[in-house]
Structure 1
Amino acid sequence: MDGLQRGASVDEETEPEEPKVGDCCGEGCNPCVYDIYRESLKRFKAKRPHGISADSLGLDKIEFKPFRLTIITPQTKDTSIYRFESSERISIKIGQHLELLVPCQSENGVKEVVRKYSPIAWTDTSFDVIIKRYANGEASKYFDKAEPEDVMSWRGPYGNFSYRKDDQEQLVILCAGTGIAPVIPIIRTIVENSEDETTIKLLCGSHTLEDRLLMDTLNELKAFWNFVFTHYVTSNDGEAGWGEKVIRGRIQETDILNVISASNKKSKVLICGSDSFCDDMKETVRKTGADFHCF
């Protein structure tokens, strides 16, 4: 009920507060706290059409808007980076996500589903998302047929993640698979700020060496003094490249405890991955007493 209260606005003279991380359970509730938030925002905008300014012209938190797919860049056999462009200016902040409206075939014709993706990079008129295609996934079938010049419908951005360089001395990031997407812009923001001395330690899980995502970006970022990363790979396929730090197996509780406890620095932890991965990571991080944020 707390999430519903935060997602809705009692006083329509005040702009409704966006749901906080964790308010949405991810179980497909109808209505979802985000549905309630959007309805409250719609009523607020209708009542005060000139009272607020849009976050961005090409993106809207209520209505889906068209974006043109311009580039598809394969990453692995089933994962690619998709670039979308708008004719209008857009505004996205680190840690935010967007929603895509996906038309899917069903027994009764076409149904529409909504999928969430975190941009890994963006400009004033475009953004990149990394998408994994699953064998029987509804959205995956849609992207299997996607080609440059296709027009897709997006809305957002959502998410109230905030970062201040003085909040922690060390940032520990625990992610798996495409869970790396929301943290890449955060890492880049920190390391490219010469006044930010926060150290970053990334522990990233994947099934195989070939499944590792955004390796070019990670290798680019590791040139900065305050960023290091370790991959945890559950298979025994192939050999890691020169200078790569790869541990065979899953991210263990002892690994997390050592990274956080071995340093005298005040730590904050970011977590992103599957529901089961996040649950496991949160349980361990709680034992350390460190502040954490789960995407």
Structure 2
Amino acid sequence: MSASKPAARVVAPPRPENPVPALNGKDWQEFTLKRIVDVNYNTKIFRFRLPAGATELGLPTASCVLVRFQDGVDAKGKKKFVVRPYTPLEDPSLGVTGEFDLLIKHYEGGPMSTHIFNMVPGDKLQIKGPIAKYQWKKNETKEIALIAGGTGITPMLQIIQRILSDPEDMTRMSLTFCNVTERDILMRPYLDSLQTNHPNQFRVQYLLEKPTAGWNGPSGLIRPEILNRACPTPGNGKVFVCGPDGFVKAICGNKNPDLSQGTVSGYLKDMGYTENDVYKF
């Protein structure tokens, strides 16, 4: 990426001197669905209202939450729950909005996504967290690569929004967003606008497995030549990877069964990257 000076940025609204998080890290809490926004044919943004008195959800970058709903009772009359992790979005550049988003893809037969897609504004969803993942520190490195497949874009968006909302954070970012077809690309207008507004600090390339006629971008599966264009050289930045298991395995190897990072394998190992260079969401 170009090392030229980043363009001037609009300063984010100031945070409250004493922000009040909605999440406390231990209790299941109910959040009310405020609005549903269509993203594409199988993905929507579910916008939830913060409870009275809270100024933010309370998400360190990068982190996720657990979401649950009751799915009947067992033979002993004990409540059964379906629980899944999701990565909420709460753009710091917008200041205090009183809301946060869940970007959710509907999977046929998936109990959690089906439950959420059946919600209507006014319904409530139980959430617990946050669960900290990677602790972002501004300017810790000059350049990062974000390699995302499908809904693996959400933790990348957390990082992107955190960096671009902080005028003191000069980290340069390259996002490679991999999808099956063009209509599967989530948040494309938003990502394109970020590249337009921050040309010296953020760039994005889209990789399609099955492009249609007229597609001008790269196509096929993720491979070393694509990664080589996107990533800082080993030892000179960080590479973040998130997506389906097979996608992550090919790039850098999956995490351990206990969800610790594990060793780096796959394409990135062959390219000279080590555990210090890579983070797997």
Compute the TM-score of the two structures, normalised by the length of structure 1.
Answer: 0.72
Partner residue in 2 for 1:116? 85
Partner residue in 2 for 1:285? 268
Structure 1 residues 144 and 188 mapped into 2: Cα distance closer, same or farther (>3 Å)?
A: closer
Partner residue in 2 for 1:36? none
Partner residue in 1 for 2:201? 226
Q: Deviations over 1:207-236 (max 9, x none)?
A: 110110011220121020211111111113
Does the CA contact (< 8 Å) of 1:188 and 1:221 recur in 2?
no
The residue matched to 1:164 in structure 2 has which SS? coil
Moved more, 189-198 or 150-159: 189-198
Matched, 1:68 2:68: no
1:44-193 to 2 correspondence within 5 Å?
58-88=22-52, 89=54, 90-104=57-71, 111-121=80-90, 123=96, 125-193=98-166
Structure of higher RCO (CA pairs closer than 8 Å, 6+ residues apart): 2
Does the CA contact (< 8 Å) of 2:88 and 2:101 recur in 1?
yes
Matched, 1:251 2:255: no
Does the CA contact (< 8 Å) of 1:70 and 1:83 recur in 2?
yes
State the number of aligned residues.
236
Does the CA contact (< 8 Å) of 1:78 and 1:132 recur in 2?
yes
Matched, 1:275 2:250: no
The residue matched to 1:179 in structure 2 has which SS? helix
Counterpart of 1:121 in structure 2: which amino acid? E
Structure 1 residues 255 and 106 mapped into 2: Cα distance closer, same or farther (>3 Å)?
A: farther
Residue number among 198, 213, 231 corresponding to 2:171 in the alignment: 198
- Taking the aligned partners of 1:103 and 1:59, their CA distance within structure 2 comes to 20
Counterpart of 2:223 in structure 1: which amino acid? Q
Q: Which runs of 5+ in 2 are unaligned?
A: 1-18, 253-264
The residue matched to 2:206 in structure 1 has which SS? strand
Counterpart of 1:220 in structure 2: which amino acid? S
Q: Which runs of 5+ in 1 are unaligned?
A: 1-54
Structure 1 residues 264 and 253 mapped into 2: Cα distance closer, same or farther (>3 Å)?
A: closer
- Taking the aligned partners of 2:189 and 2:130, their CA distance within structure 1 comes to 26
Structure 1 residues 264 and 281 mapped into 2: Cα distance closer, same or farther (>3 Å)?
A: closer
Does the CA contact (< 8 Å) of 1:81 and 1:130 recur in 2?
yes
- Taking the aligned partners of 2:74 and 2:106, their CA distance within structure 1 comes to 22
Does the CA contact (< 8 Å) of 1:190 and 1:196 recur in 2?
yes
Does the CA contact (< 8 Å) of 2:141 and 2:236 recur in 1?
yes
Identity of aligned residues (%): 23
Taking only aligned residues, the RMSD between alpha carbons, in angstroms, comes to 2.5
Counterpart of 2:268 in structure 1: which amino acid? V
Does the CA contact (< 8 Å) of 2:74 and 2:80 recur in 1?
no
Matched, 1:236 2:186: no
Does the CA contact (< 8 Å) of 2:144 and 2:231 recur in 1?
no
